[in-house]
Structure 1
């Protein structure tokens, strides 16, 4: 019997003009049991030539490269195209990259737990395609996060309403209750899907899916009133406009 996409190893390639980034990503691939690295390239054109004859499941693709950018390369890949996970040190490319059918966006320096998060997202997406599913399963409607508890990373699937900063900890308010994790807002934001969560205050990050209404100085998220920080207001409203929420 053929193994399902959810169980069989997923093939991948890495395209990055920085040798250090190639080394880091290849080491990360080696540590994820269901990933099989088929090739890595510093030159985008060589990668295109390889991928046209050697299809893979996932391409970890740098955006800022000479001659041919990752955004341009992604548009040259033959159908059926692999799942694209963009990698870059330039956060300003995030919005443009999501205009393409990208699965995820990893900001350098890439943390291992964030890489694993993206790999699991790719496996879930490919399993859906293999099963002929047209809608996401319940797990994918929520967020699969890696949170620090008891000096280790624990993968949990949660429907996250909002996160509250408590000194060096974060309290996550979820459908399953409250979770306390030794984690920074920055590390949490790196683990969350781009565009679905936004920082509204130095102490709060919210889910747009559970945002009920916005007032001048407050929002309501899943029945809870939270303040909007003055320094976060403009970026928050721009975020809502960009993603069609207002």
Structure 2
């Protein structure tokens, strides 16, 4: 049996969600994996890669549909907008929505939108796996905003107390409340190597290694502890030219 395409539905009206569930149940090849009236829960669900297509309203409290779509833009996830406000149709297509379904929702338009979204998935079959290897998702505690950080732009990570700070080559700094090892595990970047109790560096950003510190391509100097120096030298010596 062919695996069904997983959908995430977001709308602040439970009645609309029920209508969508009923209509989608009549369309072969699709399955409602998650439905919520809370756009933040839907955003986190999509960022976790648990659904293939997003169907969302535009006008919602706390986090509007257009902002939500913008936060997912790097993932290239096909989005279908369902709204009673046709004035948002053009704005939806400007944020790369694949289809607009006007409320009250009618079966032919919804079916057409899902087929268009499925064609998009067929053209980009490995997009989710590619993105897992290229990005990490960052979200500030208590904030509705989520940001995509390209793994290759990570310069180094520093632990200060209960917070981990991620520094990038474009001079940005991100803070997360995690212990150091948890942060490194979640980033999951093979070239990110621990060099100190409180520092891990992307070895691709290294310029020079000295007895007790290293110099990055940006000119920043980070400490190296004796405990972690051995692994770093093993990696570098493997590529050493003499």
Structure-2-length-normalised TM-score: 0.49
Greater fraction helix: 2
Q: Decide which structure has the larger Cα Rg and report it.
A: 2
